[in-house]
Structure 1
Amino acid sequence: MEVTVAVAATVGSPFAPHDGADRHDLVDSGSVRVTGYPVGGGWVGETLTEEGGPAAVVLLMAEPALPDQSVRARAVALVHALVDGQPRTEVLCVPAHDPNFAALTDAGALRAWHADEAALSAVLHRLDPAHRWRVADCEDAAAAEAFLAEARHCYERLTGCLE
């Protein structure tokens, strides 16, 4: 399932393959990798979640996106987080046809990209520093796609824009 992500902000991340095959240099600051692919924060339009807004997205990209840029993407994982103690769901996506992310197909592959719960929490905090983030769990791509489909269906029911 492909979606269009409206990017609101972009930050740096430690996310990249562990084997260095992508030519990103490994630079460590203590135990934290400080170079990797950029991550955008944004949403999928024409969706409505239980949280009352559009489906929130974390988008791993090869190049940073400017705010208000749209990117065709595919879901890789469903991220369950606590933001200031309140539950929040984010969909982790990658550009739909970018060969850099061909092997990144589900939540299980995230660890090989240095994208464990602690690293995801840190990146989400960089995108939204006014709040405390703690990633509790990641589900697979099928769960992310089901979440997006339900959010689309909720939007269509609310607006009467049924396809």
Structure 2
Amino acid sequence: MIITATSMPNFELLLGSHYVNDQPKLVFLDWQTEDYPELQSKSLAKLATHYQLTASDIPFIEQDSLSKDNELHLVLLTAIQQLQDYTKGKLETFDLPLDISLGTPFQQRVWRALQTIPYGKTISYAQLAERIGQPTAYRAVANANGKNPFSIIIPCHRVIASGGGLGGYTGGLDKKRYLLSIEA
């Protein structure tokens, strides 16, 4: 697994790539905060367990040191470019090889449904629960949203409360507002 960080307007992100079934995949994207410096991201322990890695198997590589000649680096460079294009309003749909196997089958269904929400649109947690065929599971859907390992790329920020309020967001409501303003 390879971890890097990138700066975007108003935020910094950690990204990770790893081989999954011999294919390079993006395995997580996490908001970087002062509470979670590079190799202390809340996602890394879970990822290490899931992919059967130790801390020494997870190097942090500065973005400027990533090489297009390395498949894992190329996945990260592509993700960074697409994120930059998204924040500039030049990209509406991400095209990246994602490994969502970290989630339970229910979470994976929710994450796939999130990817069907069009750019610039929002739906409620209840509507998302209906989309996956479990209309009473809106709280479980909200919980699965919060465990999304690919914030922005799998657009959980497009899900709001039924009354029109923002609801929650793992990265913080300031980031959710920012992402929704890009798409407005």
Q: Is TM more than 0.5 here?
A: no
Quickly name the TM-score band, shorter chain normalised. Answer: under 0.3
Taking structure 2 as the reference length, the TM-score comes to: 0.22
Taking structure 1 as the reference length, the TM-score comes to: 0.24
Higher relative contact order (CA 8 A, sep 6+): 1
The structure in which a higher percent of residues are helix is 2
Q: Rg bigger for which structure?
A: 2
